[in-house]
């Protein structure tokens, strides 16, 4: 791959930039008495009410109301949000520094299956670990709940191309799901799989970007 081919770097969030642990989130909801948390919460895609929030078909308030139907005791909004955000472990500062160093040489963009509860609380908080805001690291964000679609659906890639104004053939997409990468490749994106224990910075070095 020649450097001149790539003008944009498009990143998934969880498992690529941010460390995540699904089991923590499942445990937190199970401790509330939610018996089906394990089946509804996935590593790469959600089901049921979690999916509806992620694809933007329900609001955070509607999500919380639905969660209360699944739990065995009274819970506050804050307890629900806190349990949900247990999915997120944080962002190592060296990844933020790498993003900062890449911006300017490339267009830096984010494409994430996520939700407004996490985004407006812990996600933005973790991006502040080095004293900057989330938007300081990216030229644009493509978020599933705004796109009304989730990876690997074709619609979210169509939205990403239009919303960010990027050419897929000039864009390298980093994701930890091979299914998502296969879907992206159909639109002409260059792709890179970030496997467990791997750093996206190492892939960038391997490709001489």
Cα(4)–Cα(172) distance, integer angstroms: 12
User: Among all residues, which ones are annotated catalytic?
Assistant: 12
Spatial separation of the C-alpha atoms in residues 90 and 197, rounded to whole Å = 15
Say whether 61 sits in a helix, a strand or coil. helix
Sequence-separated (6 or more) residues with CB below 8 Å from residue 121: 81, 85
Q: Residue range 173-197: average pLDDT?
A: 97
- What pTM was computed for the model? 0.93
Domains of the chain with CATH codes: 3-19+90-206 (3.40.50.1000), 22-87 (1.10.150.240)
pLDDT bin (cut points 50, 70, 90) of residue 64 is: very high
**Percent of the chain scored above 90 by pLDDT?**
84
Q: What is the dihedral of CA 125, 130, 131, 132, to 10 degrees?
A: -70
Residue 37 is predicted with a pLDDT of: 87
Encode pLDDT of 15-60 as tens digits: 999 999 999 999 999 999 888 888 888 666 678 899 999 999 999 9
pLDDT of residue 154: 98
d(CA 111, CA 116): 14
**Residue position matching structure tokens 């819970």:** 75
Instruction: Name, in order, each residue with C-beta under 8 angstroms of 187's C-beta and a sequence gap of 6 or more.
Output: 154, 157, 158, 161, 168
Provide the mean pLDDT of the chain.
Answer: 93
What is the rounded radius of gyration, in angstroms, for the C-alpha atoms of the chain?
17
The model's confidence at residue 209, banded by pLDDT at 50, 70 and 90, is confident
What pLDDT is stored for residue 2 in this prediction? 42
């Amino acid at each position: 791959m020649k450097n001149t081919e790539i003008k944009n770097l498009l990143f998934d969030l969880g498992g690529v930039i941010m460390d995540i642990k699904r089991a923590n989130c499942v445990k937190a909801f199970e401790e509330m008495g939610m018996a089906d948390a394990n089946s509804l919460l996935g590593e790469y895609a959600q089901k049921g009410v979690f999916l509806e929030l992620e694809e933007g078909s329900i609001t955070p308030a509607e999500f919380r109301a639905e969660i209360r139907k699944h739990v065995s005791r009274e819970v506050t909004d804050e307890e629900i949000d806190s349990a949900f955000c247990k999915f997120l472990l944080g962002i190592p500062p060296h990844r933020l520094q790498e993003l900062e160093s890449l911006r300017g040489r490339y267009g830096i963009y984010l494409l994430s299956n996520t939700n407004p509860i996490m985004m407006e609380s812990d996600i933005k908080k973790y991006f502040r670990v080095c004293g900057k805001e989330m938007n300081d690291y990216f030229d644009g964000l493509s978020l599933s709940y705004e796109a009304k679609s989730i990876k690997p659906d074709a619609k979210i890639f169509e939205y990403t191309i239009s919303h960010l104004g990027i050419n897929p053939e000039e864009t390298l997409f980093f994701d930890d799901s091979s299914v998502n990468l296969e879907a992206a490749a159909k639109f002409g994106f260059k792709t890179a799989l970030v496997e467990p224990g791997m750093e996206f910075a190492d892939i960038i070095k391997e490709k001489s970007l």
